[in-house]
Amino acid sequence: MKKNKQTLLAVALGVAVSAAVQADQRVLNVYQWSDYVAPDTISNFEKQTGIKVIFDVYDSNEVLEAKLLSGRSGYDIVVPSNPFLAKQIKAGVYQKLDKSQLPQWDNLNKDLLRTLEVSDAGNQYSIPYMWGSIGIGYNVEKVKAALGGQEIDSWDVIFKPENIKKLHECGVAILDSPTEIIPTAMHYLGLPTDSENPEHIKQAEALLLSIRPYVTYFHSSKYISDLASGNICVAVGYSGDLYQSKSRAEEAKNKIKLAYKIPQEGAGTFFDMIAIPKDAKNVKEAHEFVNYLLAPQVMADLTNYLQFSNANDQATPLVDEVIRTDPGIYPPAELMGKLYTFADFSAKTQRLLTRSWTKIKSGK
């Protein structure tokens, strides 16, 4: 709801701005996640091309999808995460990218592109924007005290009741996202993460129910501020958000030291993909924007600012060394091999997952 209000406001502002734009002015309507560009990303593009960007934000894939599926969203660029993109491609929401207008296409990492074919066969409709993992962010001191000196390096900390019990005192948050957390539990159990077998979902449900009493809350963004302020000490969340939390704690100088780990068993990754809706009005401008985002320097600036990884090979040397060498953002090859992407589940499995999740959260 909070999301919707923000979006409404943004849309209202967007309409007001677009009315003010002159008729001959080239424009581009971008619908993007909140807090997901560097301060100069948009202004530099406007300076380079003379295109006026009208920028609206959302903070959940579901809100974006509801808008796209109602038809006529009015946007030229949207940035869904990959399992959502897959569904939306099937629903016929997007148009194919014209690669002749994207001369910088070859900067993209070929291995990642191949992985992404699960959701977009032949990489016809989208390019990867940023990617990150779902791992564990924690308060170094408090966790050390609670676990008796043991470091966090495995999902055991979360999924073994005897461990998470000790952390319960200082607070544990988990993402409120059935399609990401249930596969994470399945991965821990050694089950295939894209399994649609109801038996496997039941097993993951049982595991999550066993740790349920020790989870303070399930939420997809509250942990950013709670971790930074010390309200909780462990969060299973999105890497970029947890790094943001870390920076906030450093800025607040409240002596809270946070860290992010991709556990040794591996973790799920999400890719946010740039795509052009079928009914976009400014298709040429949209391609110019996509090509702009393929430039190594632009991508490196984004990674430096957002602390999310990008999929641009040429950008890596331009990324700050602290970030480039951080295993939480640029995982070493061995860990990289243990990462997996979240599947695009069938409607039936989706319903099972949501139902399971309600049971895990409310016991009903």
Partner 1 sequence: MKKLGNKLLGLLPKGRHAVIGVPFFWMLLFFLLPFAIIIKISFAEADIAIPPYTSLTEWADNQLTVLLNFGNYVLLSEDGLYLAAYLGSLKIAFFSTLLCLLVGYPMAYAIARSDKQMRPVWLLLVMMPTWTALLIRVYAWMGILSNNGLLNNTLMWLGIVNEPVQILNTNIAVYIGIVYAYLPFMVLPLYANLVKHDLSLLEAASDLGAKSITAFWKITLPLSKSGIIAGCMLVFIPVVGEFVIPELLGGPETLMIGKVLWQEFFNNRDWPVASSLAVIMLLLLIIPIVLFNRNQARELEGK
Query: Can residue 281 be called a binding residue for partner 1 (CB under 8 A)?
Result: no
Beta-bridge mates of residue 58: 33
Question: Strand, coil or helix: what is 342?
Answer: coil
Question: Strand, coil or helix: what is 250?
Answer: helix
Considering the complex, state which of residue 62 and residue 320 has its C-beta at the smaller distance from partner 1: 62
Binding residues for partner 1 restricted to 10-49, rule: CB under 8 A: none
| Sequence letter at residue 165 | K
- Phi, psi at 218, each rounded to 5°: -110, 120
Considering the complex, state which of residue 158 and residue 298 has its C-beta at the smaller distance from partner 1: 158
CA 81/CA 130 separation, integer angstroms:
10
Strands 126-139, 268-275: pairing kind: antiparallel
Q: Can you tell me which of 2, 110, 253, 255 binds partner 1, judged by CB under 8 A?
A: 2
Query: Can residue 362 be called a binding residue for partner 1 (CB under 8 A)?
Result: yes
Residue 281: alpha-carbon gap to chain centroid: 27
Query: Can residue 364 be called a binding residue for partner 1 (CB under 8 A)?
Result: yes
Query: Can residue 358 be called a binding residue for partner 1 (CB under 8 A)?
Result: yes
- Token duo for residue 216: 């303070």
Q: How far is the CB of 144 from partner 1 (least distance, A)?
A: 21
Residue 56: alpha-carbon gap to chain centroid: 18
Query: Can residue 202 be called a binding residue for partner 1 (CB under 8 A)?
Result: no
CA 183/CA 199 separation, integer angstroms:
13
| Count of residues interacting with partner 1 (CB under 8 A) | 35
Q: How far is CA 163 from CA 137, 211, 309, 345, in A?
A: 16, 10, 30, 31
Query: Can residue 96 be called a binding residue for partner 1 (CB under 8 A)?
Result: no
Q: Are the CB atoms for 128 and 80 separated by under 8 Å?
A: no
Instruction: Count the Cβ atoms, other than its own, within 10 Å of residue 91.
Output: 11
Q: How far is the CB of 176 from partner 1 (least distance, A)?
A: 9
Q: How far is the CB of 60 from partner 1 (least distance, A)?
A: 8
Contacts of 181 (CB under 8 A, 6+ apart): 134, 174, 175, 208, 236, 357
Contact range with partner 1 by CB under 8 A, out of 21-29, 214-222, 252-260, 300-308: 214-222
Considering the complex, state which of residue 43 and residue 354 has its C-beta at the smaller distance from partner 1: 354
Q: How far is the CB of 228 from partner 1 (least distance, A)?
A: 12
Q: How far is the CB of 353 from partner 1 (least distance, A)?
A: 8
Site string for partner 1, 53-92 (x = CB under 8 A): -------x-xx-xx-xxxx---------------x--xxx
Q: How far is the CB of 217 from partner 1 (least distance, A)?
A: 5
Instruction: Count the Cβ atoms, other than its own, within 10 Å of residue 265.
Output: 16
Q: How far is the CB of 351 from partner 1 (least distance, A)?
A: 5
Percentages (nearest 5) of helix, strand, coil residues in the chain: 50, 15, 35
Give helix 140-147 / helix 161-168 axis angle, nearest 10°.
Answer: 120
Considering the complex, state which of residue 281 and residue 355 has its C-beta at the smaller distance from partner 1: 355
Considering the complex, state which of residue 8 and residue 189 has its C-beta at the smaller distance from partner 1: 8
Query: Can residue 354 be called a binding residue for partner 1 (CB under 8 A)?
Result: yes
- 337: exposed, middle or buried (Cβ count in 10 Å: 0-12, 13-18, 19+): exposed
Query: Can residue 205 be called a binding residue for partner 1 (CB under 8 A)?
Result: no
Q: How far is the CB of 27 from partner 1 (least distance, A)?
A: 24
Query: Can residue 220 be called a binding residue for partner 1 (CB under 8 A)?
Result: no
CA angle, 267 then 230 then 152, to 5°: 35
Query: Can residue 118 be called a binding residue for partner 1 (CB under 8 A)?
Result: no
Binding residues for partner 1 restricted to 150-189, rule: CB under 8 A: 178-179
Contact residues: partner 1, CB under 8 A? 1-2, 5, 60, 62-63, 65-66, 68-71, 87, 90-93, 178-179, 216-218, 229-231, 347, 350-351, 354-355, 358, 361-364
